[in-house]
Structure 1
């Protein structure tokens, strides 16, 4: 079932799809990677549904089936996604599935946003599962690979200054991306923190959000150190489960798993199971 909501004072039309399980289980809100359309997650969603979960997945504003596309005059950043986009999805999820604790399942950029939401809202009664996501600070890479994210951020800043958005499809990274989002992304590559977003992030020791992170061995965009660095925003002792890529080594593990998501489905389900014995008051995970 496909429905939609409005974002950023109604400027963006944001479709979302609901997948219902035959049994009553948790509702998993899938937050996509940069430039990956929501429809690419269908096999993953169906696998989660077969395991007894309800699933809701939406395109980011201006991506996939959402419109219009970002431009010099249509912009948004991380804080808009944390303060408005995610709360809208949570309200929709609770409207469709009033019982059970919602789970934010974020892939790459989606993992950033899910983690930031939990860090800014430690009492929100959500669970976070991150997949192939991480803090993109250059120190989370080794050797010459440390040049990757800083150099990319410089290029992105130049392109967004010229075009007013990032022409990701043209350069082979992401989609038609919002200027502020990519500039903020790039600042993390240099600083390793999200202070520039202006979000009031609570320290990990004061955050009781249940969370679990899944990495793909050989992922050039989210090595294990990067994943642990992101998870540390809401976990004093990050829980990270590294999986072999289910696809050939010639395919980028960062998103190739979507073509064969069974092992990631299993890792998500087993990760959530560890929280099932400690539900929030009056709710089940």
Structure 2
């Protein structure tokens, strides 16, 4: 099965690129896969194809300034994380609502893809959400492997390199991928505040998080080198109006030695999908 590529207009005037994976039989629901920061949608292809084989329509997309949604050099992108929430996510929801008006819509957000739920103007068109390894980026609450280097990234690397280059040259630094300047500088501010995005952006955004009332299941990996339990609990604590539960997954639970923050969407983790995600999709 191949995917269909869709170029979607946004209210911000730019376009983003999405991929559509259709099941052979009647679709049970639409699963929108919202990527982690710096992880292009192509990396979720194994998982998206598997979803289609289980009878779900899967939609992946690249945020403005990443992957297939880069229409010129990334340094020219005006994107921020808030613009991803304001323009890119609603554009995907518009497309899904118009194309599959009778289908349930499930938001599956990896890392920042889970954060964006609380930053959108509305989640009324989403029926339920699954977050994966999504936690506050406040650096002192990161898991130890990341906390040991986070201070270097946020206090030295980003404020030195980004203003000079005009973007974050992640490909050259072997840290994520190239990212727009606005994304990286905004993220830096959030990661230096104990209350992360809510602490920086203020009460209006806190109320947006609180207004989300769809059921949220948070999947946490015990060996996540970036997100600690505390960081995940902090982020989901902002969703005060949503029914929530957290599921902690040990690598041994799925016959693996390691899961980590990135990679759960590759074929080798199919046992994780079958054991922990299928039931949540059907709930």
How would you bin the TM-score normalised by the shorter chain? Answer: 0.7 to 0.9
- Tell me which protein shows more helix as a share of its residues: 2
**Partner residue of 1:200 out of 190, 197, 205:** 205
CA distance 1:142–1:254, shift in 2 (3 Å): closer
Give me the whole-angstrom Cα distance separating, in 2, the residues matched to 1:70 and 1:194.
27
- 1:1-285 residue pairs with structure 2 within 5 A? 1-7=4-10, 9-11=12-14, 13-21=15-23, 22-69=25-72, 71-117=74-120, 120-121=121-122, 123-141=124-142, 146-154=147-155, 155-191=157-193, 192-195=195-198, 196-197=200-201, 200-202=205-207, 207-235=212-240, 238-245=244-251, 249=257, 253-259=260-266, 260-266=268-274, 267-273=276-282, 276=283
Give the TM-score taking structure 2 as reference length.
0.83
Q: Which sections of structure 1, spanning at least 5 residues, go unmatched?
A: 277-285
Tell me if structure 2 keeps the 8 A contact 1:160–1:166. yes
CA gap of 1:272–1:200, structure 2 versus 1, over 3 A, is same
Contact 1:77 1:180 survives alignment (8 Å): yes
**Separation in 2, partners of 1:3, 1:142:** 37
Q: 1:142 to 1:219 in 2, by over 3 A?
A: closer
The structural deviation recorded for 1:47 is 1.8
**In the aligned structure 1, how far is the partner of 2:53 from the partner of 2:171?**
33
1:52 to partner: Cα distance:
2.5
CA distance in 1, matches of 2:229, 2:87: 30
Distance 1:239 1:132 in 2: 13
Question: How many residues get paired?
Answer: 270
**Cα gap change, 1:264 to 1:116, in 2 (>3 Å):** farther
For residue 31 of structure 1, report the CA deviation from its aligned partner. Answer: 1.0
